[in-house]
Amino acid sequence: MIAAKALRLALLAAGTAGGLSGAAYGLLSGQSKYARRVIGPPANDPLRADGIHLPDGTGPVPRQELPDGVEPLEFAVLGDSAAAGLGVDFPSELPGVRLARGLAEELDRPVALTTRAIVGTTSQELGAQVDAVLVRPPRLVLIIVGANDVTSKLPVSTCAQLLGDAVRRLVEADVAVVVGTCPDLGAIRPIPQPLRSIARHWSLALGRAQRRAVEAAGGHAVPLADLLSPEFLARPTEFFSPDRYHPSAAGYEAATKVLLPVMCAAIGAWEGGPLPTAPTRSEAAEARRPTSRIVARLNRHLHRRSR
The catalytic residue positions are: 81, 243, 246
What is d(CA 58, CA 55) in angstroms, rounded to the nearest whole number?
Answer: 7
Terminal CA-CA length for the chain: 38
Nearest to 196 by CA among 21, 2, 10: 10
Q: How far is CA 24 from CA 82, 295, 297, 307, in A?
A: 32, 8, 10, 15
**Could you tell me if 259 and 180 are in contact, meaning their C-beta atoms sit under 8 angstroms apart?**
yes
Residue 180 bridge partners (DSSP): 144, 222
Residue 64 neighbours by CB under 8 Å, 6+ apart? none
Where are the alpha helices (H) located in 65-223, listed in sequence order?
Answer: 81-84, 95-107, 126-134, 156-172, 195-216
